[in-house]
Amino acid sequence: MTKVVLATRNGRKVEELREILADVCSGLELDIVGLDVFPDAPDVVEDGVTFAQNAVLKAASAARSTGLPALADDSGLAVDVMGGSPGIFSARWSGGLGDRANLELLLKQLEDVRDENRAAAFVCAAALVLPDGRSAVELGRFPGSVAREARGTGGFGYDPIFVPSDQLNGDPRTLAEFDADEKNRISHRALAFRALVPHLKEHLRP
């Protein structure tokens, strides 16, 4: 198997990526591990100005420090009425106080915004960087709307307040009310990493 490092210490994201790629990487034998098995790998300053730049920064650092092909993603919530914010600052929107504080602050900022003006999208950039410096990056965009309150216990980040567009005319579940299989078929992260699969097959096929 080809060992590939995912540039995160978040075990949930490692498992999610394994599930996303399991059905679309036929012919590839990938052993995906997180940076938690490389305690000396440095943390990266995410000083890019786009999701794509930050994803490549993280993957490049992981590839250099481990000597392995590296995957990374950078993602966030872009709210139309806020000019695309929180965007690349999604994970630290509340000043580093965590997921719950981030979404509570966003709900407070949007409390006077009408339902028809609460359009948003989850955006993800997925990057592959090889130890020799070659790289590829792909984007996934998942449209929806911001709910008025958090609902659901699945997922993480802004999932409890994000209603996918195809739910708006039916059962208005948030992404946190989807089961893992449903989410992994349609999410922004799934879209981005599936778009990256041709690059994986080009560079990592045994």
Q: Where are the domains of the chain?
A: 2-204
- Tokens 């990266």 correspond to 44
Distance CA 183, CA 167 (A): 13
More confident site: 130 or 17: 130
CA distances from 3 to 10, 31, 66, 80, 107 (A): 18, 5, 11, 39, 40
Query: Does 74 participate in catalysis according to the annotation?
Result: yes
Tens-place pLDDT, residues 54-100: 999 999 999 999 999 999 999 999 999 999 999 999 989 999 899 99
Catalytic residue, candidates 74, 99, 115, 166: 74
More confident site: 20 or 76: 76
What 8-state DSSP symbol labels residue 39?
T
The CATH class of the 2-204 domain is alpha beta
CA angle centred on 121, ends 119 and 124, rounded to 5°? 170
Assign 179 a pLDDT band (cuts: 50, 70, 90). confident
CA atoms within 13 A on the CB side of 194: 15
